[in-house]
Structure 1
Amino acid sequence: MTDQGDPLARIAAALERLTPPPAPAIDWLAHPAYVWDGGGARAVEKIYAPALDLLQGIDQQKDVVTANVTRLAAGHAAHDMLLWGSRGMGKSALLRASIVAAQTLHPGRIALVQVAQDAMAGIAGLFATLGRIDRRFFVFIDDLGFEDGDGGGPRLLRSWLEGGVEARPGNVRLAVTSNRRAIVPRHASEQDDPLNPRDAVDDRLALADRFGLSIGFHNCNQDDYLAIIAGYAAHFGLTWEQADALEWSRRRGQRSGRVAWQYVTELAGRAGKAI
């Protein structure tokens, strides 16, 4: 009878053949952006963002954000940023566009790393990795908000921003977008608490105060809404009518950069164009 060898060795060899090869290590110098899922990262080959000059109605915010991102890319002192305020007014679009512009000015020197809120617990490991890379990074948490009773998330964020043993390294800055300046919910009853009535409010606002830049975005007025549409329409060679654009916003119950972009997409579809 032929000797088949050690059965355990044969089983181990078969399992090894079935196991997929390990994923290649991420090159943190090669790509413009990455996504962190809490346990690892994947590279993003292109950042999709509008050109900065197409972002209308947020000129002051644009100046502040682009200047700060460019400073970090150049290796200068830069702030963590909280971009807060109205939905659809270009908070995340402005950050992506600013990163793209800084990468054009300083090729290879800065990248964006997006982290989902449910992966925040793994950011300490991400920081440890990025701190060893000779490159600047903006770690981006989009649409951040904490539920009532969530004390751990805000404490982690405060620790990363300032003074904690796992604070982000010097080549990394945080950029957070939120619909609320305080990030965590606030209630009128906090003002009526007979025991230290300001403590709860101060604790929530202290989180926003940890960011060097806290930049508000507010609902656009009619003129800004129409200017946004005009800029996109001119860029893509689309014709449009003011009354039609205003009716589009009325049907959606708001005016914002997002609603303007949706209208431009509708215009392109009517014209049989891709944008």
Structure 2
Amino acid sequence: MNVRFNEFLDQAQVVLERLEPLLPTAQPPLDWTRTLAARWHREGRGGALLPLQVSLDIQLADLIGVDSQREQLSRNTRQFVAGLPANHALLWGARGTGKSSLVRALLAEHAAAGLRLIEIERDHLADLPRVVERLAALPQRFVLFCDDLSFETGEGDYRVLKSVLDGSLERAPDNVLLYATSNRRHLVAERQRDNDNWQLVDGEVHPNEAVEDKIALSDRFGLWLSFYPFTQDHYLAVVRHWIEVLAGQCSLVWAWDEALERAAIRWAQGRGNRNGRCAYQFARHWVGLQLLG
């Protein structure tokens, strides 16, 4: 009898060891008076909000050349923080043009007024109802931030996400908004055949309805903001701004001249793009070289 009982205990132990990774780890509730940002972490069949250490050094004034986008999203966020109606926002466009930086700059601007940021990955958006439920009764205002939201051809997840967004966002409490960034306006890859020979495509009698199904996902966002590739003048203006900021922090005396401008242009050409990220990287490179010398 004891032998059988011991065998049962051994088997039960094996089962528990297999189940343990699927069980959520107990997490103490976050103190949102001290926590400015968190990330939704899926764990097994559950998940938890884990605190993030965020830097508030990026200010709205640091975002050069995107005045219209900055003002629109800033106004929408001010409405939200004030408890007024506001829209979920989709920021789409060229990479490195300040989409994510704008969202983080708004956190720095409004953190003292109760704004908080929660990062959630695209693959975890199905957990939105769980996240929203945890935030509903809290006094702070929460922006759920999904960076780089897009879907490749053949992925059917966007249909699931549409229903999740419909259910979660339409019934979301007043203290929750969703801000997402993407390189694609419609979030889903589109093909030329979506518009060519629209009368009949791959045997589908109404292919235009399939196209509507694809682009309907972005309609869940009431505010669309477009970010375009930088011109050379725009790029150089951002370079000058960041050199001024970084040099000021180090008390470095510097002057803008033709040689520095040429160096900034060569840096962008070597990377095949002109954007805010490239400008910031060059500024760090150049200021660091001057200080080293």
Instruction: Provide structure 2 residue ranges, at least 5 long, that are not aligned to the other structure.
Output: 1-5
Q: Distance in 2 between matches of 1:115 and 1:170?
A: 19
Report SS of the residue matched to 1:37. strand
2:181 corresponds in structure 1 to: 177
Matched residue type, 1:112: L
Partner in structure 2 of residue 229 of structure 1: 239
Moved over 6 A (4+): none
1:97-145 deviations in whole A, cap 9, x for unaligned? 01210224x2xx2100000122222222101111122221100000011
Distance (Å, rounded) in 2 between the aligned partners of 1:94 and 1:169: 24
Pair 1:116 & 2:121 matched:
yes
User: Pick from 204, 213, 219: which aligns with 1:209?
Assistant: 219
Q: 1:30 Cα shift?
A: 3.1
Secondary structure at 2:90's aligned position in 1? strand
Contact 1:34/1:41 (CA < 8 Å) preserved in 2? Answer: yes
Q: 8 Å contact 1:184–1:204 — kept in the other structure?
A: yes
The residue number in structure 2 matching 1:98 is 106
Gaps of 5+ in 1: 1-6
The 2-side partners of 1:165 and 1:265 are apart by 40
The one-letter code matched in structure 2 to 1:259 is C
> What is the aligned partner in structure 1 of residue 3 from structure 2?
none
Q: Deviations over 1:164-206 (max 9, x none)?
A: 6984332111000000001011111122351213112222222
For 2:121, the aligned partner's letter is: A
SS in 1 for 2:91: strand
Query: How far did residue 154 of structure 1 move?
Result: 2.1
Question: In 1, Cα distance between the equivalents of 2:85 and 2:161?
Answer: 20
SS in 1 for 2:163: helix
| Partners of 2:235 and 2:275 within 8 A in 1 | yes
Q: Give the deviation of 1:215 after TM superposition.
A: 0.5
Partner of 2:229: 219
How far apart, CA to CA, are the structure 1 residues paired with 2:170 and 2:210?
Answer: 25
1:266 and 2:249 correspond: no
Secondary structure, aligned partner of 2:207: coil
Aligned pairs (5 A) from 1:20-99: 22-38=26-42, 39-99=47-107
Contact 2:120 2:146 in 1 (8 A): yes
Aligned residues of 2:60 and 2:102 also touching (Cα < 8 A): yes
Residue 274 (structure 2) pairs with residue 255 (structure 1):
yes
CA distance in 2, matches of 1:174, 1:160: 12
Aligned to 1:255, the other structure's residue is in SS state coil
Q: Corresponding residue for 1:146? A: 151
**Which of residues 159, 163, 168 in structure 1 aligns to 2:172?**
168
Alpha-carbon RMSD: 2.5
Rounded to whole Å, the distance in 1 between the matches of 2:169 and 2:224 is 24
In structure 2, the residue corresponding to 1:229 is in which secondary structure?
helix
TM-score, scaled to structure 2: 0.79
Contact 2:118 2:142 in 1 (8 A): yes
**How many Å separate the matches in 1 of 2:155 and 2:61?**
39
The 8 Å contact of residues 131 and 169 in structure 1, kept in 2 or not, is answered as yes
Instruction: Give 1:49 shift.
Output: 4.8
Q: What percentage of aligned pairs have identical amino acids?
A: 35
- The alpha carbon displacement at 1:78 in A equals 0.9
Name whichever structure is richer in helix by fraction: 2
C-alpha contact 2:126 2:164 (8 A) present in aligned 1: no
Equivalent AA in structure 1 for residue 51 of structure 2:
A
Mapped contact 1:160–1:167 kept (Cα < 8 A)? no
Q: Normalising to structure 1: TM-score of the pair?
A: 0.84
Q: Distance in 1 between matches of 2:26 and 2:143?
A: 27
Shift of 1:254: 1.2
8 Å Cα contact 1:249/1:255 also seen in 2: yes
